[in-house]
Every structure is written in structure tokens, then in C-alpha cells.
């Protein structure tokens, strides 16, 4: 983030907004709440950050969250958003078999946004890094104003001498395994759209609060996911041949592995049923679990459970990459796509 020249004001008022105190004073209250990275040579306060990269390579990913297609402020607290912004990027680094090392966070918020909300956002970032990827921290970013709350995060990771685990390495005979929930975040989202609204159908904060109390697990899975970040490096060490983050649903993301690797992935219906989320285990997005393939001789790392097997193209009647469940082709329209799911402006 830009240099925060003023010293943090411990007496900042609860009524202060981004527009009333300006960028520098707001940053002075936010930056001290951000977590430090264990590989930082130079952190927030200069034109750019400097991170150590002992491996000589750096894993980099980026993601955006925009009010409307990606979240609703009536449902998510600013702390939730900070947590989720970190978690969704950390999971992409983990899916390469890397250890997350740093985040760069850009935030554009309406001028009337209370500075206390920005502090809560920073708290969510800090707590997510501490819980999911100890040693990872925020090394820089930007703060601006916008009519629409927009969050952009770039994450960095260290391969620690290992080759990256790509999507194109799955081979016939490999075991398909998952670490983390399947369909739980989608279950939470369905509850919010069904019961987290007022009589007009608009997102309602009071209704969402009741849902948090009545259905804490699926609501938390949607609003503040807890992906198994450490399991990414564990999978790489164990010999995973392919891996990716399950952000768009098992069916859609497994199909990406199948196409990249030139194979068929046959999922086990009983293994999917064990997740207890019905069809959402296959089609629900935003779990940010990890899908990986392993040679059959490998003992699956703790956290991973088998959900299928990789099959050669010539063993499948269609003769092309596909995803099956118990031998039956899965509809290619399944999965989460914000470009088609989002139907209008945020309420």
C-alpha cells in the first residue's frame, strides 16, 4: 500500500469515513492491523515490496471480488470479506503445491465507508493468514474510492524446491482425491438466496444473521471459507500428478483436469454421497477445496479422500476428455460461473 505518513491515531472516531479523513489517515489505521510476511525484505510504505524467494521461482495468482456478482454486503461483514479475499487466493497458491508467502491487496471503497469497516477488513485478512497459512502476510497494495466496493488480491507462493503441480499431469490409473468439503458453500449460498432476503427478495442483514445462527456451517463455508491450504504442499510432497482449487464445482473443475491431461475422470457416486450435500457435491462452487490425482501406489496424504479414478480415453465410449459418475457422463453445463449466475445489480 502507499506510504502511510501519519502515525496511527488510536483516538480515531467511530464516525470517521474514508472520504472524511482521506487516504493517508485511513492507511495509518489499517496498515498496523495487517499481518507481516515471514519472507518480507521490505513491506508496506515504499513504492513496491521486496520478498525473499529462496527457491528462485515465485508462484503468482490474482483474483477479484466485486459487490454484486461476488458478494452482498447485506450478507457479508467486512471481516468476512477480508477472510474470504485471503482464503480464495491462498487456495490457488496451494493448488500449485506451493506454500503461500505474501499478499498484495487493493481495495476500492465508497467514500462514505466507515474506516472501522476497513479496519475490520484488515482484521479478516490477518486472521485468515494466521489460521490458514502461518507466515504469509500482506506486503503491499492500494486504497482508492469507488461507487462499488471492489477487492483485488495478488498472492505469492514458494515451491520450496518442488516442481509445480499442474492440471495436465493426471494419468490413467491415478486415484482422484479431494481435501475439503464438496457443495457446502453452495448449500450456504442457496440458503442465503432462499431465506436471507426480505419480502421483496432483496438481501437482508437480519435474515442473514438468523441463518448464521441456525446453519452456521454452510453459511460460514460460503461467507468465510476455510480451505485446506497446507494440504497443497502435502499433496505435492506425496507425489500428486495434477491438482487444482475447486472454486467452480467438482464437475466443472474435474473437467478442466480431464481436458488438460487428455483423460477421463470417473467419479464414485457413493464417495460423493458421503459429503451429504446431494447434487451440490458435484455442481456447487466456491468450496475452495483441493482436487488432486495421485499414482495408485501412493498413500493419500492426511486430509485427502478418494472420490474416483482416472481412465484412458480409449476406455471411454466417447473417446474424448470427460467427467463421469459411476460410468455415466456428467452434463457439461454443471458448475458455478459468475458470468451466467449473476443476473443484475447488487441490492
Digit-coded pLDDT (tens) for 287-312: 999 999 999 999 999 999 999 999 99
Q: Is 80 annotated as a binding residue?
A: no
H/E stretch holding 290 reads strand 289-294
Please check if 266 is assigned to a binding site.
no
- 204 assigned ligand-binding residue: no
Query: Is 16 labelled a binding residue?
Result: no
Q: Which of 1, 223, 28 lies closest to 115, judged by CA?
A: 28
Of the listed ranges 168-172, 288-292, 311-315, the least confidently predicted one is: 311-315
Q: Distance between CA atoms of 151 and 46, rounded to whole angstroms? A: 21
42 backbone dihedrals φ, ψ, rounded to 5°: -145, 120
Is residue 47 part of an annotated ligand binding site? yes
Residue 143 has pLDDT above 60, yes or no: yes
At 336 the pLDDT is 58
55-59 contacts at long range (C-beta below 8 A, 24 or more positions apart): 55/158, 55/159, 55/160, 55/161, 57/159, 58/156, 58/157, 58/158, 59/93, 59/96, 59/98, 59/156, 59/157, 59/158, 59/159, 59/164
Domains and CATH numbers, the chain: 18-158 (3.30.1330.10), 175-336 (3.90.650.10)
The mean pLDDT of the chain is 91
Residue 92 annotated in ligand binding:
yes
Q: Report whether 245 belongs to an annotated binding site.
A: yes
The confidence score (pLDDT) of residue 15 equals 84
SS3 category, 7:
coil
- DSSP 8-state secondary structure symbol assigned to residue 69: T
141 is in an annotated binding site: yes
Q: Does the annotation flag 286 for ligand binding?
A: yes
Give the predicted TM-score (pTM) of the model.
Answer: 0.90
State yes or no: 200 annotated in a binding site: no
Q: Are 234 and 298 in contact (CB under 8 A)?
A: no
pLDDT, tens digit, 9 for 90 and up, residues 327-344: 999 976 656 555 455 444
What is the H or E stretch that residue 126 is in? helix 115-132
Q: Does 63 count as an annotated binding residue?
A: yes
How many CB atoms neighbour CB 255 within 10 A? 20
Tell me whether residue 142 is annotated as binding. Answer: yes
Instruction: Count CB atoms within 10 A of the CB of residue 210.
Output: 12
Confidence at residue 24, expressed as pLDDT on a 0 to 100 scale: 87
Amino acid at each position: 500500500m502507499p506510504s502511510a505518513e501519519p502515525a496511527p491515531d488510536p483516538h480515531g472516531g467511530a464516525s470517521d469515513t474514508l472520504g472524511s479523513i482521506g487516504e493517508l489517515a485511513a492507511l495509518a489505521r489499517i496498515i498496523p492491523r495487517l499481518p507481516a510476511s515471514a519472507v518480507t525484505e521490505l513491506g508496506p510504505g515504499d513504492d513496491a515490496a521486496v520478498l525473499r524467494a529462496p527457491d528462485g521461482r515465485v508462484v503468482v495468482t490474482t483474483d477479484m471480488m466485486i459487490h454484486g456478482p461476488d458478494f452482498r454486503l447485506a450478507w457479508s461483514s467486512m471481516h468476512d470479506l477480508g477472510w474470504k479475499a485471503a482464503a480464495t487466493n491462498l487456495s490457488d497458491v496451494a493448488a500449485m503445491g506451493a506454500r503461500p508467502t505474501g499478499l498484495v491487496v487493493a481495495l476500492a471503497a465508497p467514500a462514505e465507508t466507515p474506516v472501522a469497516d476497513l479496519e475490520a477488513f484488515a482484521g479478516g485478512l490477518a486472521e485468515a493468514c494466521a489460521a490458514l497459512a502461518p507466515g504469509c502476510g500482506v506486503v503491499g497494495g492500494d486504497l482508492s474510492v469507488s461507487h462499488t466496493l471492489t477487492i483485488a488480491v495478488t498472492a505469492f507462493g514458494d515451491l520450496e524446491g518442488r516442481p509445480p503441480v499442474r492440471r495436465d499431469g493426471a494419468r490413467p490409473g491415478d486415484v482422484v482425491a479431494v481435501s475439503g468439503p464438496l457443495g457446502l458453500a453452495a448449500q450456504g449460498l442457496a440458503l442465503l438466496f432462499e431465506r436471507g432476503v426480505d419480502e421483496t427478495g432483496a438481501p437482508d442483514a437480519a435474515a442473514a444473521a438468523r441463518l448464521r445462527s441456525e446453519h452456521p456451517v454452510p453459511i460460514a463455508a460460503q461467507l468465510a471459507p476455510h480451505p485446506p491450504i497446507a494440504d497443497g504442499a502435502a499433496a505435492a510432497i506425496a507425489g500428486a500428478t495434477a491438482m487444482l482449487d475447486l472454486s467452480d464445482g467438482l464437475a466443472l473443475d474435474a473437467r478442466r483436469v480431464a481436458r488438460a491431461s487428455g483423460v477421463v475422470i470417473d467419479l464414485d457416486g457413493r464417495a460423493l454421497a458421503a459429503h451429504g450435500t446431494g447434487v451440490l457435491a458435484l455442481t456447487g462452487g466456491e468450496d475452495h477445496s483441493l482436487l488432486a490425482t495421485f499414482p495408485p501406489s501412493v498413500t493419500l496424504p492426511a486430509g485427502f479422500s478418494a472420490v474416483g479414478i482416472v481412465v484412458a480415453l480409449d476406455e471411454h465410449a466417447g473417446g474424448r476428455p470427460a467427467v463421469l459418475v459411476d460410468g455415466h457422463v456428467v452434463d457439461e453445463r454443471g458448475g458455478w460461473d459468475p458470468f451466467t449466475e449473476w443476473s443484475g445489480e447488487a441490492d
